[in-house]
Amino acid sequence: MWRKSQDEPGGMMHPSQQQAPETAGKAGRTAWLNGTVVGAGVTSALGDFCYETTTVILPGFLAVLGIPAAALGIIEGIADALAAYTKMFSGYIADKLGHRKLLVVIGYGLTPVGQVLLALALGWPLILLGRLVSWFGKGLRGPLRDAIVVQAVTAESRGRAFGFHRAMDTLGAVAGPLLGVALLGWAQRLPWDDASGPFRLVLWLSVIPGVLAVLAFLTLVRDPQHSANPGLKFFQTLKGLPLRFKRYLGAVGLFGIGDFSHSLLILAATQLLAGSLGVVQAAQVAGLLYVWRNLVQVLTSYPIGALADRLGSLPVLVAGYALGALTALLAALAFWLRVDSLPLLALLFTVAGLYVSVQEALESTVTADMVQPQTLALSYGALGTVNGTAKFVSSATVGLLWSAVSPVLAFVCAAVLMAAGTAALARLRARGG
């Protein structure tokens, strides 16, 4: 059981200091890239391939069904809220019972079920139900998968591990919409009874990677040892979370109230380009812009994680939040100036990709730095609940303001709220508590 230390020739290492099975035999910098991290990344890539295909074509699908922007905002907001509250309770149940992998598998399995419901939809009720089923699964799996990943690596390599995971996650979000847009263009040339036919075909095909995601997690991911904690009390544990973490959640929530669903960015591009390209072609181009946003996220997630490991996650997250406020401001300017220039719209989606890359890679690492391991899944659930509740308010509000007043006002309000959240996070960093 005793062996020589690799760092000190001739020295001895106690069993408790040996590397975990996931990282054994790997040295220093590469120890974080283990089977669980890779397996979770592959699963997330397939999962995103499934449901991000829907994200990119849903605005166009709703347009041909005659469903307005306000309905899209409400549907996305309600789905985000359900995912948020599911994250809270799934984290608590996992910490209490110690069964994380099974819940993650069920969560991934619900995504293709939701896709089937969308493919069958004739109006907004079934679209809402399909999104709710998919997002319930997303909420169920999210905090538990993140807890599995964070406990499979060292504290010093969390940024890289989550950066890699988010890059893989977004790789599926690039490949899926690309194929979806290509299939949409091809399907248009086929005979259909109505304009929704091409969209439905893409939705049916998106079920395949969703099923593969379930199989990938089952076979590739090993949950690090996680003991049940039957005495864990939900509200008592929430109340006992560190004050610094609660302040952090406040800043995240304030930012999130302005952090609208990027389905509305796709809709914005579709409307701005429709005059010159027509609705269907504009929807395709808007979908490609969203793919570009996701590609930016793929390319920057790991470098951002590595930068956070060097400089600290919190200051890098502050910078990312500032880019979020800039995204909303640029969207408002695009409508104010009636921008239909593809390069300018690509710039908007580039900035959006950068801030989402920072947000998704580092919100979880900041959380892990602030809480105890035994409440990690619950803390991730709290983070997800705050984010989802805020995004429900944001997406619904932006959609309603868009329809009732103007998209300019909608995005300006979002920019102000996101800037306020950035300032609150910067103050948290400045006083260190």
User: Which amino acid is present at 77?
Assistant: G
User: Residue length, the chain?
Assistant: 433
pLDDT at res. 97: 64
Give, in order, the Cα–Cα distances in Å from 257 to each of 138, 165, 226, 381, 391. 20, 26, 34, 18, 6
Among residues 48, 42, 38, which one has the least CA distance to residue 290?
48
3-state helix vs strand vs coil in the chain, percent to 5: 80, 0, 20
Integer Cα distance of 145 and 42 in angstroms: 12
Among residues 181, 298, 220, which one has the least CA distance to residue 39?
220
| Distant-in-sequence, close-in-space partners of 45: CB < 8 Å, separation ≥ 6 | 168, 169, 171, 172, 175
| Distant-in-sequence, close-in-space partners of 82: CB < 8 Å, separation ≥ 6 | 132, 135, 136, 139, 388
How buried is residue 97: exposed, middle or buried, by Cβ count under 10 Å (0-12/13-18/19+)? middle
Integer Cα distance of 297 and 306 in angstroms: 14
Tokens 């109340």 correspond to 239
pLDDT at res. 234: 63
pLDDT at res. 2: 34
Which CATH number does 34-220+240-431 carry?
1.20.1250.20
Per-residue tokens: 414: 């979002």
User: Which amino acid is present at 43?
Assistant: T
Integer Cα distance of 300 and 315 in angstroms: 17
User: For the whole model, what pTM was predicted?
Assistant: 0.66
Q: What is the mean pLDDT of the chain?
A: 79
Integer Cα distance of 64 and 226 in angstroms: 48
| Distant-in-sequence, close-in-space partners of 403: CB < 8 Å, separation ≥ 6 | 68, 69, 70
pLDDT tens figures, 331-381 = 999 999 888 888 999 999 999 999 998 998 888 888 888 887 777 777 877
| Distant-in-sequence, close-in-space partners of 10: CB < 8 Å, separation ≥ 6 | 4
Per-residue tokens: 353: 């990709």
Query: Which residues in the chain come in under a pLDDT of 70?
Result: 1-31, 69, 94-99, 155, 224-237, 430-433
Q: Distance between the two ends of the chain, CA-based, in angstroms?
A: 42
Among residues 394, 332, 326, 390, which one has the least CA distance to residue 363?
390
The residue ranges of every structural domain in the chain are 34-220+240-431
